[in-house]
Amino acid sequence: MNSPVQALLGALACLVLSLVVGGVLATENHFLLILGLGAVLVTAVVVAEGFAALLAFGLLCPFVLPVPFVRGVPLLASVLALCAVKYILRCAVRRADVKSAVWLLMPGIALFFLWVAIRYAMDPVLPNPRGIGTHVTGFRAYFGYASCVAFIVVLGVTINTRAQLMNLLRWLAIITAGLACIFIPLVFSRSLAVASVLSQFGVFVTTFDNGLLRFVVLPGYGMLLVMFAVLPKLLQPTLGMRLALLGLGLASVVLGGSRSGILMLMVMLLCVALMRWRILHAALAGAGCVTLLLVLYLIGEHAPTREVGLLRVLSLVSPRIAHQSDAMENMRWRMARWERAMEDIQQRPWVGKGYGGLDNAWVFQTRADYESAMVDVDVAAGSAHNGYLAASRAFGVPAVVFFVLLQCWHALRNFQLSRRAIRTDPFASDLHLLVLAYVASYNVGIYFGTDLNDPMVWLWLGLGILVSRVPVSPAKEVVPAIPDRAAPALAAAPI
């Protein structure tokens, strides 16, 4: 984009921001402040060169669009639609060629999504408009899978050179660090007004027992920042930047208060240790993790605590902290949904029951009726807080077994490619290792709540294929008016 146009858009964005801030100072309207800041951020992402900023923003931004008649429209769907429009316009202006696209829907991935489409066709459902309808249709879960398919296709079409891939990683780091820097100070604000406004935009906010705000998205940001710090070939940061990313990442994981986040980070670091360090060093790292868990147990069992607060993560190993915090109640809450999902799986273990199919879901008279109904609602909507059980209930046990085998195959492939390229292509080696670490750690995340229609699950599978198929190009690539029509370098076709 020409610099005068960028300057004009920047000036307009500053003008809008100044008007919004002035209005907020006069009216104390926090909703308008967040809306204005979001508009400026979206504008900056849209005018950025290429598609990397848009894709990273759609993946990482926890906000949803406040559409009048539909509740909680995923931001990623709108971003993918915007990418499609931007790509079509760019092709029309530059006469670009789609032959450079990389097809990421390999046979295994395509087969899994094909079964999801067949299962939807067996019991098709439509969405309920906001505030209308008493039935749980489960359309949102199916829509999530459709968004994942669209994301994989768009990723291969828009990111097809090494320079674009590196740019995508940079934007993932920039947006992750920026959002972490926004949410971490808000943790200590203890402001229910801030929590209420953020909730209106789809951010899941709860509180620790001492009043600190707890943002569920923070551990995910922290894991990504830590991995960028320990795998320096991806971003090639300075030592000071690596330390800053590491500190910000660890702070995000701890302040997020997620036990599964702690376990996932340990799995990822162990993967890096086993791949990059000697056996003795890796064994020492494993012993260090065990020692850390033992120390956390001793602190949780013997340290005097009136309020648990940020020590909630100690409930991972400390029964005392688990009883003092909401951790034990949270586990009972999850078990009720797991047991209900397993009952449905036993009824139709081979093809599943699909999503939805729950009539009169919002009819209850007492608190006990409400709690029982919410268990059925969550399970029917695909929110069993165990991705394997939720998918088994919807698509059958064979589909989940196939997905696990698909993950194992990708983990093994990225392990081999990372070892093979460790001397010849350090960037590709580190990226394959990052994919391996995420695929391994997501087994923990899926067990504790991540659904299989989470786009981040498919992002890493797609990147593992992409890095081995795109041609190596200089980091400072200039997109020509008429792109080169040479086909990308071929690699062994992955599943």
Q: Which of 334, 309, 296 is nearest to 214 (CA)?
A: 309
Mean pLDDT of 443-456: 88
Q: Which of 223, 60, 168 is nearest to 467 (CA)?
A: 168
The mean predicted confidence, pLDDT, of the chain is 79
The whole-angstrom separation of Cα 250 and Cα 273 is 17
Identify the weakest region by mean pLDDT among 172-176, 188-192, 410-414, 471-475: 471-475
Question: Do residues 66 and 200 touch, judged by C-beta distance below 8 A?
Answer: yes
Q: Who wins on pLDDT, 416 or 38?
A: 416
Which amino acid appears at position 206 of this protein?
T
- Read off the pLDDT of residues 251-279 as tens digits, 9 standing for 90 and up: 999 888 888 888 899 889 888 888 877 67
H or E element at residue 245: helix 239-256
The domain spans of the chain are: 48-203+336-467
The secondary structure of residue 29, as a DSSP letter, is: -
Q: How many CB atoms within 10 Å of residue 152?
A: 24
Q: Who wins on pLDDT, 486 or 330?
A: 330
Q: Which pLDDT score, from 0 to 100, does residue 69 have?
A: 54
The whole-angstrom separation of Cα 30 and Cα 437 is 39
Q: Which pLDDT score, from 0 to 100, does residue 102 have?
A: 66
CA distances from 460 to 64, 414, 442 (A): 23, 10, 10
Question: Do residues 125 and 137 touch, judged by C-beta distance below 8 A?
Answer: yes
pTM of the predicted model as reported, rounded to 2 decimal places: 0.82
Mean pLDDT of 7-23: 67
439 pLDDT band (50/70/90 cuts)?
Answer: very high
The whole-angstrom separation of Cα 271 and Cα 212 is 33
Half-sphere exposure of 188 (CA within 13 A, CB side): 6
Q: Which percentage of the chain shows pLDDT scores above 90?
A: 25
Q: Who wins on pLDDT, 485 or 163?
A: 163
Q: Which pLDDT score, from 0 to 100, does residue 492 have?
A: 42
Q: Which of 472, 461, 446, 459 is nearest to 414 (CA)?
A: 461
CA distances from 104 to 101, 116, 325, 415 (A): 9, 18, 44, 19
Is pLDDT above 60 for 482?
Answer: no
Q: Which pLDDT score, from 0 to 100, does residue 484 have?
A: 44
The secondary structure of residue 490, as a DSSP letter, is: P
481 pLDDT band (50/70/90 cuts)?
Answer: very low
For 303, phi and psi rounded to 5 degrees?
-70, 135
Q: Who wins on pLDDT, 322 or 400?
A: 400
Question: Do residues 225 and 173 touch, judged by C-beta distance below 8 A?
Answer: yes
- Look-up: residue for tokens 């100070």? 185
Q: Which percentage of the chain shows pLDDT scores above 70?
A: 73
CA distances from 112 to 121, 229, 346 (A): 15, 33, 21
Is pLDDT above 90 for 400?
Answer: yes
The whole-angstrom separation of Cα 177 and Cα 317 is 29
Residues comprising the chain, all counted: 495
Evaluated on CA atoms 234, 410, 390, 359, the torsion sign reads positive
Structure tokens at 154: 């768009």
Question: Do residues 231 and 272 touch, judged by C-beta distance below 8 A?
Answer: yes
Q: Which of 166, 173, 102 is nearest to 425 (CA)?
A: 166
Which amino acid appears at position 138 of this protein?
G
Is pLDDT above 50 for 493?
Answer: no
CA angle 461, 430, 458 (to 5 degrees): 10
Mean pLDDT of 402-420: 92
The whole-angstrom separation of Cα 46 and Cα 23 is 25
The whole-angstrom separation of Cα 482 and Cα 152 is 25
474 pLDDT band (50/70/90 cuts)?
Answer: very low
Identify the weakest region by mean pLDDT among 181-190, 324-333, 461-470: 324-333
Q: How many CB atoms within 10 Å of residue 309?
A: 16
- Read off the pLDDT of residues 110-151 as tens digits, 9 standing for 90 and up: 999 999 999 999 988 877 765 555 677 788 889 889 999 999
35 pLDDT band (50/70/90 cuts)?
Answer: low
Is pLDDT above 70 for 292?
Answer: yes
